[in-house]
Amino acid sequence: MGYKAKFRVWRGEGGEGQLEDFTVEVNEGEVVLDVIHRLQATQVPDLAVRWNCKAGKCGSCSMEINGRPRLGCMTRMSTFEETETITVTPMRTFPVIKDLVCDVSFNYQKAREIPSFTPPKDVKPGEYRMQQIDVERSQEFRKCIECFMCNNVCHVIRDHDENKPAFAGPRFLMRIAELDMHPYDELDRKESAQEEHGLGYCNITKCCTEVCPEHIKITDNALIPMKERVVDRKYDPLVWLGSKIFKRSGV
Amino acid sequence: MTQTTAESPTSKQRAQLKVRTLRTDRWWLVPALTFAGLMSFLIYGVWAIFDKSYFAEPYIAPFSSPCLATSCPEGARFLGLAPFGDWYGLPPGLLILGLPGGFRLTCYYYRKSYYRSFWLSPPACAVSEPHKKYSGETRLPLIIQNVHRYFFYLAVVIGAILAYDAVLAFRDEHGNWGHVGLGTIILVANAVLIACYTLGCHSCRHITAGRLNHFSRHPIRYKAWTFVSKLNARHQQFAWASMYSVMIADLYVRLVAKGVINFPFA
Ligand code: SF4
Ligand code: SF4
Ligand code: FES
Ligand code: FES
């Protein structure tokens, strides 16, 4: 049942490198990560690849397979023709440490820049009372496995490295949306979403949504709703007037 | 571990792949079809605006409705009104063109589609865009996209007028109720699709309850949000369906007005 597949894998350190060709055995039921592991075991012992769960849940094995951001452990070999050459490269947006392993610290830095959940001072842990419908929207975003493929595919930084300081990427703009929608979060995150985390850079072209292995509707359910909240705060004179007259908040 | 230094900025440490994309599928197909689809609509629209046969009792072509000028035939005037007098010599369709036009131009879905297919920013996912600089919707002119909700309010009015036109299409050419022609069916289908597109708008979703953090305190608004969310999930499909339905309905009425299609079937 097995066959020999043609693989073309990026090898190199710190950006320098090249695509190298290999022929590797493939058995029924295998995924790309299995084949990369076989390559490592039989031909290139120093091939660097990051992985952990092999179940699509740890978000370690993000790579680009035939040019598309994918989880290596969730991409079945049966989706390719046996004669096809399969190209595997590291994520393009982040610095390469070695071979398929990227330095994803950009993402950790962006995560730290977002103020954490801020509940009212007089509510103690254990005293939160929320109805399911109030937290449902945020829960979708909690499915994130932090594979960072959305940040990797987003053209704002993928094609324009210079935008990195100004743009948190879909993963963390979604985090802001999650907190802004949270019934117990007291910080107002609309102004900073736009001014500090670069929500305005997103042009809602939905590539983050297309690659998310958890099928989170990042654009429709986080980014666009957040853009609308920003409009309330910054660009809609009627809402601004209404908030002055009725002094409503925390609705 | 590699360090980011002045000599070796992160951009240089990224895998230096010289090709625009390594995708092997036909990634250009969708942007090409989108381009063709949107262009066909624009070209038809320009023709339709200047075409004079927009009214055939009881049908009015959607591109020219509401008809608000004295140059509109008596029966075509919206509620008999004609606020634009004889001094207005241009096609009446031009008066209202900006409302549905602006609504679609600033629609989140259409933005995606033309940013991708016209501006190639990006043409497809993981395919690099041709532009040197990128500031997205952070500054002029694209920051203006934030007016979308105002176009939504206006689009609700236009949608209601098209629905009203569809109701009037249940009369025959002499004004007697009870007629159901092919035109009636087309206008009704168009009004329904336009309504599904309009109500599925992201701004509508935000206004109904998206802006709230406590759904449980606003059960009616939450219900509305749930309904809008369902339409919103199909917003792209409704955008295309209603764009073509309005084009077909418009063309159909014009063909009736030109005598190409005749009553009683029309
Ligand atoms: S929708 Fe916005 S955040 Fe997501 S990939 Fe596109 S530009 Fe980036
Ligand atoms: S949102 Fe999806 S694509 Fe982005 S990091 Fe989380 S799981 Fe990965
Ligand atoms: S190894 Fe954990 S997601 Fe692939
Ligand atoms: S009409 Fe498409 S988002 Fe408003």
Confidence band of A126 (pLDDT split at 50, 70, 90): confident
pLDDT for B1:
45
Question: What spacing in Å lies between the alpha carbon of A213 and ligand 2's midpoint?
Answer: 7
| C-alpha–C-alpha distance, residues B86 and B225, integer Å | 45
Residue whose entry in the numeric block shows the structure tokens 């004609």: B82
| C-alpha–C-alpha distance, residues B129 and B237, integer Å | 26
| C-alpha–C-alpha distance, residues B54 and B233, integer Å | 34
Q: Which domains does chain A have, with CATH numbers?
A: 3-102 (3.10.20.30), 105-246 (1.10.1060.10)
pLDDT one-digit tens code per residue, A191-243: 999 999 999 999 999 999 999 999 999 999 999 999 999 999 999 888 888 87
Note which residues in 89-118 of chain A have CB less than 8 A from chain B: 89-90, 92-97, 103, 106
pLDDT one-digit tens code per residue, B141-162: 999 999 999 999 999 999 999 9
For chain A, the first-to-last Cα distance in angstroms comes to 61
For B12, which residue in chain A has the nearest alpha carbon?
A15
Which of A68, A197, A205, A210 maximizes ligand 1 atoms within 8 Å of its Cβ, making it the mutation to test the pocket? A205
Sites in chain B below the pLDDT cut of 70: 1-10
CB B205 within 8 A of CB B149: no
Q: Which two tokens stand for residue B47?
A: 């023709």
- Give the global pTM: 0.94
Q: Name all residues whose Cβ lies below 6 A of ligand 1.
A: A 153-154, 156, 170, 202-208, 219, 223
Examine the predicted complex and report whether its ipTM is higher than 0.90. Answer: yes
Q: What residue type is assigned to position A109 of the chain?
A: Q
| C-alpha–C-alpha distance, residues B105 and B145, integer Å | 8
| C-alpha–C-alpha distance, residues B209 and A228, integer Å | 12
**Residue in A72, A92, A212 with CA at minimum distance from that of residue A145:** A212
Q: What residue type is assigned to position B253 of the chain?
A: V
For ligand 2, say whether the CB of A226 is within 6 Å of any of its atoms: no
Closest in A134, A162, A203 to B216, CB measured:
A134
Look up residue A87 and give its DSSP letter: E
Per CB-CB distance under 8 Å, the chain A contacts of B133 are 160
pLDDT one-digit tens code per residue, A56-115: 999 999 999 999 999 999 999 999 999 999 999 999 999 999 999 999 999 999 999 999
pLDDT for B82:
86
| C-alpha–C-alpha distance, residues B173 and B111, integer Å | 40
Question: What spacing in Å lies between the alpha carbon of B93 and ligand 3's midpoint?
Answer: 57
Q: Which burial class, exposed, middle or buried, applies to A173 when counting CB atoms under 10 A from its CB (0-12, 13-18, 19+)?
A: buried
pLDDT for A247:
62
**Residue in A46, A62, A156, A93 with CA at minimum distance from that of residue B15:** A93
Query: Are B14 and A202 an interchain contact pair (Cβ–Cβ within 8 Å)?
Result: no
For ligand 3, say whether the CB of A71 is within 6 Å of any of its atoms: yes
- Residues with Cβ within 8 Å of A244's Cβ and at least 6 positions away in sequence, in order, are none
Residue whose entry in the numeric block shows the structure tokens 């031909």: A43
Per CB-CB distance under 8 Å, the chain A contacts of B14 are 15, 92-96, 161
B78 against A42, higher pLDDT: A42
Residue whose entry in the numeric block shows the structure tokens 């590699």: B2
DSSP string, chain B: -----SSS-HHHHB----SS----S-TTHHHHHHHHHHHHHHHHHHHHHH-S--EETTEE-GGG-SB-BTTS-GGGBGGG---B-TT--S-THHHHHHHHHHHHHH-HHHHHHHHHHTS-SSSSTTS--S-S---TTSSTTGGGGGGHHHHHHHHHHHHHHHHHHHHHTTB-TTS-BT---HHHHHHHHHHHHHHHHHHT-HHHHIIIIIT-S-GGG-HHHHHHHHHHHHHHHTHHHHHHHHHHHHHHHHHHHHHHHTTSS-TTT-
Q: What residue type is assigned to position A102 of the chain?
A: C
pLDDT for A68:
98
Domain ranges of chain B: 29-257
- Residues with Cβ within 8 Å of A206's Cβ and at least 6 positions away in sequence, in order, are A219, B112
3-state class of A10 per DSSP? strand
pLDDT for A249:
52
pLDDT for B12:
77
Which ligand is closest to the CA of B202, given by its number?
4
Note which residues in 26-85 of chain A have CB less than 8 A from chain B: 64, 66-69, 84
Q: Which two tokens stand for residue B20?
A: 């625009």
Which ligand is closest to the CA of B200, given by its number?
4
Provide the strand spans (E) within chain A: 3-13, 16-26, 62-65, 68-71, 85-89, 96-98, 101-102
| C-alpha–C-alpha distance, residues A238 and B119, integer Å | 32
pLDDT for B9:
63
Q: Which atom of ligand 3 is nearest to the CA of A61?
A: 4
For A95, which residue in chain B has the nearest alpha carbon?
B14
